[in-house]
Chain A
Amino acid sequence: MYHRHGTGGRAMLFVAMLLAMPHASADEPQQVAFNEHIRPILVAKCVACHGGPKQAGGISFLYRTSALSEGDSGEPAIVPGSAEQSYLIERVSDPDEDYRMPPAEHGPALTEHEISLLRQWVDAGAVWQEHWSLVPPELSTQPAVKDTHWPNRPLDFHVLARLESQGLAPSPAAPKAQWLRRVTFDLTGLPPTESELKAFLSDSSDDAYEKVVDRLLASPAYGERWASMWLDLARYADTQGYEKDPHREIWPYRDWLIRALNADMPYDEFVVKQLAGDLLPNASLDDRLATAFHRNTQTNTEGGTDDEEFRLNAVVDRVNTTWQVFQGMTFGCTQCHSHPYDAFEQEEYYKFLAVLNNTRDCDLPEDYPVLRVPKSQDQVAECEQLEQRQVELGTELFRLYSEGMSDDRQWNSLTLTAAKSTGAAQLSIREMDGNNELVAGGTISQGSRYTIDCAASREEPITALRIDALPMDPENSLRIPEEGFALSRLQCFVASSDGTETREVALQAAFCDELDPVFDPEDSLYDNHSGWSVFTKIYHPRYAVFLPAEPLRLADGETLRLVLHQNRNTSGLASQVIRRGRFSVSTNPQWSTLLTGQEYKTLRDELGSVREQLRAIPSTLVPVLEERDPVAPRPTQVFVGGSWLERGDTVQPGVPASMPPLVSDGPADRLDVARWIASDSNPLTSRTMVNRLWEQLFGLGIVETVEDLGASGQEPSNQALLDSLAMQFQGELGWSVKRLLKEIVLSSTYRQDARVPRDLQERDPRNQLLARGPRGRLQAEMLRDQALVLSGRYSQHLYGPAVMPYQPDGVWQSVYNGSNWQTSQGEDRFRRALYTYWKRTSAYPSMLAFDMNSREVCVARRIATNTPLQALVTLNDPAFMELANSFAKRARNEGGANARDQIAWAYRQATGQQAADAVIDELCLLHEQALQKSPAKSSDTPDDSADQFAMTVVASTILNLDGSLTK
Chain B
Amino acid sequence: MSYRILHPDSPSPLREGQLSINRRQLFGRSAGAVGVAALASLMGKESSATESFDAVRSRFPSYAPRAKRIIYLFQNGGPTHVDMFDNKPKLHELHGTPVPDQLIAGKRFSTMTGQAQGKLMLAPVEPFHQYGESGAWVSDLMPHTAKIVDDLCFLKGMHSDAINHAPAISFMLSGAQIPGRPTMGAWLNYGLGSECEDLPGFVVMTSVSKGTTCGQIFYDFYWGSGFLPSRFQGAKFRGSADPVLYLSNPDGVRPELRRAMLDDLADLNALKHAQAGDPEIQTRIAQYEMAYQMQTSVPELTDFSDEPDHILDMYGPQVREPGTFAYNCLMARRLAERDVRFIQVMHAGWDQHNTITTELYTQCVDTDQPSAALVRDLKMRGMLDDTLVVWGGEFGRTPFIQGNIDDRPRWGRDHHPYAFTLWMAGGGVKPGITYGASDEFGFNVAEGGVHVHDLQATILHLMGINHEALTYRFQGRYFRLTDVHGRVVDEILA
Contacts and interface: CB of A to CB of B under 8 A. Distances in A.
Contacts of A302: 164-166
Interface in A671-728: 699-700, 704-705, 707-708, 710, 712-714
A933 interface: yes
A512 B294 CA distance: 65
A303 interface: yes
Given A866-B284, A876-B247, A754 B276 contact: yes
Contacts of B4: 755
A707 B257 contact: no
Most buried by B among A330, A841, A949: A841
Given A758-B277, A872-B247, A963 B264 contact: no
A247 to B, nearest CB: 15
Nearest to B109: A304
Nearest to A761: B277
Contact of A922 (B247, B249, B264, B287): B264
Given A875-B291, A934-B252, A865 B112 contact: no
Interface string A852-889: 01101101000111111111110111100100000000
A700 B48 contact: yes
Contacts of A329: 476
Most buried by A among B46, B248, B257: B257
B357 interface: no
Contacts of B250: 875-876, 878, 881, 956
Given A865-B47, A866-B45, A881-B250, A332 B180 contact: no
A133 B61 CA distance: 38
Nearest to A812: B217
Interface string A436-457: 0000001110000000000000
B220 A843 contact: yes
Contact of B230 (A841, A848, A913): A848
A872 B244 contact: yes
A175 B275 CA distance: 13
Given A863-B229, A866-B284, A341 B111 contact: no
A55 to B, nearest CB: 16
B308 to A, nearest CB: 30
A930 B257 contact: yes
Interface in B110-143: 110-115, 117-119
Interface in A544-602: 570, 572-575
Given A777-B280, A863-B48, A871-B291, A755 B275 contact: yes
A933 B257 contact: yes
A712 B476 contact: yes
Contact of B114 (A324, A443, A705, A707): A443
B227 interface: yes
A532 B224 CA distance: 42
A332 B474 CA distance: 11
A353 B251 CA distance: 55
Given A443-B117, A841-B221, A919 B271 contact: yes
B129 to A, nearest CB: 34
Given A869-B291, A873-B246, A881-B250, A814 B217 contact: yes
A177 B118 contact: no
Interface in B385-440: 414-415
Interface residues of A, number: 114
A810 interface: yes
Contacts of A574: 111, 114
Contacts of B288: 868, 871, 875, 960
Contact of B476 (A708, A761, A925, A966): A708
Interface string B38-55: 000001011111100000
Nearest to B260: A929
B269 A758 contact: no
A245 interface: yes
A876 B252 CA distance: 12
A859 B287 contact: no
A914 B476 contact: no
A570 B111 contact: yes
B476 A962 contact: no
Contacts of A960: 261, 265, 288
B: interface residue count bin = 35 or more
Nearest to A866: B283
B31 interface: no
A865 B230 contact: yes
A811 B476 contact: no
Nearest to B275: A755
B165 to A, nearest CB: 6
A315 B253 CA distance: 51
Nearest to B115: A443
Contact of B112 (A304, A700, A848): A304
B215 interface: yes
Nearest to B273: A962
A879 to B, nearest CB: 10
B476 A816 contact: no
A474 interface: no
Contacts of B447: none
Contacts of A864: 46-48
A961 interface: yes
B494 interface: no
Contacts of B215: 815-816
B246 A808 contact: yes
A242 interface: yes
A708 B47 contact: no
Nearest to A306: B111
B16 interface: yes
Nearest to A711: B476
Contacts of B13: 918
B1 A808 contact: no
Nearest to A442: B118
B261 A923 contact: no
Interface string B265-283: 1011101110111111101
A716 to B, nearest CB: 14
A766 B247 CA distance: 33
B257 to A, nearest CB: 5
A410 to B, nearest CB: 37
A851 interface: yes
A965 interface: yes
Given A757-B6, A810-B238, A856-B179, A962 B269 contact: yes
Interface string B470-489: 00010111000000000000
Contacts of A313: 178
A337 to B, nearest CB: 10
Nearest to A860: B475
Given A574-B114, A871-B288, A926-B264, A756 B277 contact: yes
A810 B240 contact: yes
A174 B410 CA distance: 74
A756 B276 contact: yes
A704 B50 contact: yes
A916 interface: yes
Contact of B475 (A332, A814, A871, A935): A332
B476 A305 contact: no
Given A302-B165, A303-B110, A933-B256, A914 B2 contact: yes
A755 B1 contact: no
22 contacts: A243-B219, A245-B219, A300-B166, A304-B414, A305-B111, A330-B477, A333-B475, A340-B477, A572-B112, A573-B112, A699-B48, A704-B50, A712-B476, A755-B276, A761-B279, A854-B221, A864-B46, A866-B283, A868-B288, A872-B247, A922-B16, A961-B265
Given A243-B219, A868-B288, A872-B245, 6 more contacts: A442-B118, A707-B475, A707-B476, A712-B477, A867-B287, A918-B14
Interface of B: 1-4, 6-7, 13-14, 16, 43, 45-50, 108, 110-115, 117-119, 163-167, 178-180, 215-221, 224, 227, 229-231, 235, 238, 240, 242, 244-254, 256-258, 260-261, 264-265, 267-269, 271-273, 275-281, 283-284, 287-288, 290-291, 294-295, 414-415, 473, 475-477
Task: Sort A-B residue pairs by CB-CB distance and give the 3 closest, nearest first.
Answer: A330-B476, A304-B110, A243-B166
